[in-house]
Amino acid sequence: MVASYFVVEYLMEMPFSFRVKMGQMEIEISGTREEVMKTIEELPKLMETVSKAFGSTKNREETKSVSSVFPSVSSSSCGEAVLQILRSDWGRQPRGLTELGEALKANAVYYPSTTLSGVLSWLVRKNKIKRWKTDKGYVYVLAGGRKENGKDTGES
């Protein structure tokens, strides 16, 4: 009897882990089997606490995504679609290749990034848009700004 009790006690002390993924959230619980099972019983309460903690982060992300709604474009050519995007209020801020590609996709205008990159380079050479490098990569704006108080703002 002593040997079987020792085996059970030994098994109870072995490392045990439990991992589950729900949507974008993943939780892993490690410890002895007894500790993990006790924590799983308390999981609903724990998840409520974690959800509240991450709720404020989620609200900030939602606010950010709503503020950058893509403009609508209707063009048959990639170059003209890019120019329409950059003429919009959304396009007044410098935008990168990825952002411009996402704006096109949001309008069901699909071009590979290689095509878009070539079109952006061509528009820069034609002085229709301006490009400069930032720490995140190249950004683009419409060339030829509007005049405010006799000064060129660089915006359109």
**Per-residue pLDDT tens listing for the chain (156 residues):** 445 554 455 555 667 787 877 776 677 888 888 888 888 888 788 778 877 877 755 555 554 444 358 888 887 799 999 999 999 999 999 999 999 999 999 988 899 999 999 999 999 999 999 999 999 899 999 998 543 334 444 443
DSSP alpha helices (H): ranges in the chain?
Answer: 2-13, 33-41, 43-67, 78-87, 97-106, 113-125
Q: What are phi and psi of 104, to 5 degrees?
A: -65, -45
- Residue 153: predicted pLDDT: 45
For residue 20, give Cα distances in angstroms to 42, 43, 151: 15, 11, 59
User: Are 83 and 74 within 8 A, CB to CB?
Assistant: no
- Residue 146: predicted pLDDT: 46
| DSSP letter, residue 111 | -
- Residue 134: predicted pLDDT: 92
- Residue 21: predicted pLDDT: 76
* 43-67 vs 33-41: helix crossing angle, rounded to 10: 60
- Residue 154: predicted pLDDT: 47
Domains detected in the chain: 2-67 (no CATH), 78-152 (1.10.10.10)
- Residue 149: predicted pLDDT: 39
- Residue 85: predicted pLDDT: 93
Cα separation, 73 vs 108, in Å, equals 9
Cα separation, 12 vs 146, in Å, equals 74
